[in-house]
A and B are shown apart, each in its own frame.
Chain A
Amino acid sequence: MTSEALVAPVPAAPPPEPVARIGPVTAARPYAWPYDGSVPAARTALVCIDWQVDFCGPGGYVDRMGYDIGLTRAGLGPTARLLAHARATGMLVVHTREGHAPDLSDLPANKRWRSRQIGAEIGSAGPTGRILVRGEPGWEIVPEVAPVAGEVLIDKPGKGAFYATQLDLVLRSNGITHLLLTGITTDVCVHTTMREANDRGYECLILADATGATDPSNHEAALHMVTMQGGVFGAVGSTDGVVDATTWSSP
């Protein structure tokens, strides 16, 4: 290579785009999240867990088990707001869906047995299609927080979003180190996913107002557990806390 090539003219760089950072979320408990002060939005993922008709829609699985879906729908408004914020700030947006293959080949026997015991057998016909089966109306994400083109969809056979899915690979491939968690239900799928994420080294914030459970006391206990021992699984925050802790700067 000649020295001429080394000094070839470089086109003028476009003015830098402003970059969003999240944190510190000072109102988070038990510490101002994240532990490392703040994080670029580009290294943060908003994870929306199981906002499916089966869990928060009329005629879905949770409705059929006799629970009040008002409790599982309470977080939809804050989650919609977080989605708009994540899209505006350039976070990775991930949606998860719990469900099984139509032939139920990925359904553990005890999970099937248990759903039958409670009167809503996975794979059986219901008002919104076959319960918890991929492709059925009840398995779809509700319109209030529906994915848009380009967002990541993770189909999971269990409660945790990491087991038997590509989630960890997707997050690492996108340089994600920090997670904001929304979804239902707080004590089951959100908590299992938060525990899995924490063991894998992701720094997690669970959004209290953007989650919900079939039992309010389980919701509260699950959030309280996160705050023990200095934040054993991460921290608990709110939608306002995240939005208010967002700053823009030149890269």
Chain B
Amino acid sequence: MTTVEADPGPFSFDPATTALVIIDMQRDFCEPGGFGETLGNDVAQLRGVIPPLQEVLATARAVGMTIIHTREGHEPDLSDCPPAKRNRGAPSLRIGDPGPKGRILIRGEYGHDIIDELAPRPGEPVVDKPGKGSFHGTRFGEELAARGITSLIVTGVTTEVCVHTTVREANDRGYECLVLSDCVGSYFPEFQRAGLAMIAAQGGIFGWVAPSRALLAVLHPALEGTPS
């Protein structure tokens, strides 16, 4: 077992049964000129996640950990998009409308795909999800079970929406989740702080939180073949 110093206490995991989960690092959420920015959000708040996440991804690949990517989006005919999701709040741009990087949140469009910096490699599952959670309406749970995964290292965007929903789903299913504080991002600093605090509250009610350097510190020795 490998142990990372985390909040509210040490997080122990076996890299062989742990998956690095990278949530929704899609162009529409993370890139200037994408859907997120057209809604008035500051994408710089999310782009700070990219460098530490690149290092975590490279290390996880070198160690041979399971890596799973997710993307939020819908079928081109919107048959899997709940009307409430598309229409509530009188949005200026709705899901399926033409956007700066293709139709908004539609599978197969340029903006829906993962940013080049974190592009999946062959063999790494990419799970397409219609909602905020990675488990509902997807094969994410089956992908984890097929690989014998029991622990998740969770990264991606946004902290309080898709990351939180996925961690809540995973926790109810008995997975142990470590959220990397500098590898998850929110457009809103207040929610970044509150979202991380909620995970570690009440003795870690949804899981554990640690900075990526704490994880890298224990994975790098493993990489060099020395006991960790």
Contacts and interface: CB of A to CB of B under 8 A. Distances in A.
B74 to A, nearest CB: 12
B174 A110 contact: yes
A71 to B, nearest CB: 13
A36 B87 CA distance: 8
Nearest to B130: A199
Interface string B171-202: 11110100000000000101100110110011
Interface string A214-233: 11011001101100111111
A218 B172 contact: no
Given A31-B88, A199-B136, A118 B202 contact: yes
Contacts of A77: none
A218 B84 contact: no
B172 A163 contact: yes
Most buried by A among B9, B87, B160: B160
Interface string A142-160: 0000000000000001111
Contact of B198 (A218, A232, A235): A218
Nearest to A204: B84
Interface string A113-147: 01101100000000000000000000000000000
Interface residues of B, number: 41
A143 B94 CA distance: 45
B51 interface: no
B121 interface: no
Contacts of B168: 159-160, 191-192, 195
Contacts of B88: 31, 35, 203, 230-231, 234-235
Given A117-B203, A203-B84, A230-B90, A196 B174 contact: no
Interface string B78-90: 0000111101111
Interface in B52-103: 82-85, 87-91
Interface in B145-169: 160-161, 164-165, 168-169
Contacts of B1: none
Given A35-B87, A199-B130, A228-B188, A187 B198 contact: yes
A196 B82 CA distance: 13
Nearest to A67: B202
A65 interface: yes
A202 B174 CA distance: 25
A117 B84 contact: no
Nearest to A187: B198
Given A160-B169, A198-B85, 14 more contacts: A118-B203, A192-B168, A195-B165, A199-B132, A199-B133, A199-B136, A200-B136, A203-B84, A217-B194, A224-B190, A225-B194, A228-B160, A228-B188, A228-B191
21 contacts: A111-B171, A114-B204, A118-B202, A160-B169, A192-B168, A195-B132, A195-B168, A196-B169, A198-B131, A199-B130, A202-B84, A218-B198, A221-B191, A221-B194, A225-B161, A225-B195, A228-B191, A229-B39, A229-B161, A230-B90, A230-B91
